[in-house]
Chain A
Amino acid sequence: MIVAALYDDRMEPDDPDEVAELVKRAAAGERDAWDALVSRFNGLIWAIVRKHRLRPADSQDVAQVVWLRLLENLSSLRDPSRLAGWLATTTRFECLRVIRLGNRMIPTMEGLWEGAAAPDPSPEEIIATSDHKRAVFEVVGMLDLRCRQLLELTAYQLPYQVISELLDMPVGSIGPTRGRCLERLRELLRAAGISP
């Protein structure tokens, strides 16, 4: 039985006004605002990349081109507070583009992404900053894939329409399924004796 520990550096749900403010500041040239956006949403981009099961080199290309696209579009986003949806949709399109382009004929560029691991780290490879986190991550890993994917996307507060397209699920079923998946995760954590 794992003794509970204080969950000290949890990630808060994204406040849309906060996201809009970060976008505005990044557009004005503030590097720390850009870094904050990357920290918040990098996981989302890679979650979608993993879902499309791209090869490592293609995964890296997609992540890079999505961030670069955002970088030059910071001032032109129609609704900066809905950045999660923009990133998810853009990433999905880039994944589809890569799949359509098919096999590489020319070797790829090395560079910024040297040494980046293949997209599917096992629970042992994931860096957890505390034993408590590692224990929680292991339990989340026990959820079935569908629940894990759904909860991951809802954690970024994506519009249900975007989730529906990404997971090929009817919009109306997202809410109820989310509730069931949350309850399943709650039960798994309870059974493992892990408190928040």
Chain B
Amino acid sequence: MSEWSDDELLAAVKDLSGSQAPAGAADAAMELFTWRTVDAELAALMTDSALEAPAGVRGASEARTLTFAAQDVQVVVEITENADSRQLLGQLVPGRPGQVSVRQGGVVRTVEADDLGRFVIDDLGPRGPLSLRCSWNGGSVITDWVLV
């Protein structure tokens, strides 16, 4: 009987690893490719209050704050959970009017940002991945996908 080399053992472990993902998970991930944005600058996730507070301290109804940063613009977002709905308050920094498209899963909604760059989404969808596309006269950014 021939001996297993280290590489062969690791290849077998890796093979099993791939097989242990749920059925359909790989296919679903491949299908995400159609969601790709090609024409907007990325605003990277910089801070998330959910990761900063000590565990267990955050109250159930406290707002969660996220900030995203691109080269010349930041997007600040505050999410508040109420009894049966969630609200998102957002701000473009520096402020400027524009449109904000909210991508949650496959659903897209568009709201206006006022002259100061503020926008509101009154009824944020169920928990899941979220990304904002913020457009104004002269540019646009998309925020890193994040779980909200």
Contacts and interface: CB of A to CB of B under 8 A. Distances in A.
The answer to whether A and B assemble together is yes
Contact of A61 (B7, B21, B129): B129
A42 B18 contact: yes
Interface in A135-153: 136-137, 140, 148, 151-152
Contacts of B9: 151, 182, 185-186, 189
Contacts of B108: none
Interface in A100-144: 100-101, 104-109, 111-113, 115-119, 121, 126-128, 133, 136-137, 140
Contacts of A38: 26, 29-30
Contacts of A43: 14, 17-21
Contacts of A112: 28, 31-32, 105
A4 B51 contact: no
Contacts of A71: 32-33, 35-36, 145
A196 B2 contact: yes
B26 to A, nearest CB: 5
Main secondary structure of the interface of B (DSSP, over half): mixed
Contact of A151 (B1, B5, B13, B60): B13
Interface string A51-74: 000000001111111011101110
A47 interface: yes
Interface stretch (B88-96, B109-117, B120-128): B120-128
B6 to A, nearest CB: 6
A11 B15 CA distance: 6
Contact of B11 (A13, A31, A97, A148): A13
6 contacts: A38-B26, A43-B19, A43-B21, A64-B29, A100-B58, A182-B9
Interface of A: 4, 7, 10-13, 26, 29, 31, 34-35, 38-39, 42-47, 50, 59-65, 67-69, 71-73, 76, 93-94, 96-98, 100-101, 104-109, 111-113, 115-119, 121, 126-128, 133, 136-137, 140, 148, 151-152, 154-156, 182, 185-186, 189-190, 193, 195-196
